[in-house]
Every structure is written in C-alpha cells, then in structure tokens.
Amino acid sequence: MAFEWNKIHKFEDSFEREIIDSVEDYIMDYYDIIELHELTEKEVNEIKTFTQELSEYSVMQVGLNNILMRWDDMNE
C-alpha cells in the first residue's frame, strides 16, 4: 500500500496560519504598533528589503509576503 496523508491540507493550513500570525506579532512588537495599517512606508520598505535578502526557501517568506500584500491592499 502506498503512503497517504489524508487531509494534509489541514496541516498545511495550520502551519501557514501559525507562520503568518508569528510574523505579524513579531512585526507589531518590533515596530511597537497595534494594527498593521500603522506601518509607515519606510518600515514596509525595511521589511521588503529583509524579505528579499532572506532565503527564498525560508518558511517565513509565507508570513512576510502575506503581511506585505495585506499592507499594499490597505494602502491602494
């Protein structure tokens, strides 16, 4: 019988959500803000630079890119 992992997407979703929440918490603590929309353009550029310098294989890319996309959506 071949190996199977039923409902693996539930595990993936859970890990992804944990990464996104951890990145958001870290950024809010680092910049001493309460809401994501409080980030300045300068701070967002710092995060973008950090993200670009981070390994493309880092699991934290999921959370960082999510934060950047959400900030962009709020500021369009």
pLDDT in tens, the chain (76 residues): 899 999 999 999 999 999 999 999 999 999 999 999 999 999 999 999 999 999 999 999 999 999 999 999 998 8
Angle at alpha carbon of residue 27, lines to 25 and 30, rounded to 5°: 105
Q: How far is CA 70 from CA 1, 7, 12, 53, 73, in A?
A: 43, 28, 20, 20, 5
> At a CB cut-off of 8 Å and minimum separation 6, what does 19 contact?
59, 60, 62, 63
Q: Does a structural domain hold residue 58?
A: yes
Q: Count CB atoms within 10 A of the CB of residue 17.
A: 13
pLDDT of residue 19: 97
pLDDT of residue 73: 93
What's the total number of domains in the chain?
Answer: 1
Q: Does a structural domain hold residue 1?
A: no
Q: Does a structural domain hold residue 25?
A: yes
Q: Does a structural domain hold residue 3?
A: no
Q: Does a structural domain hold residue 2?
A: no
Domain that holds residue 50: 8-74
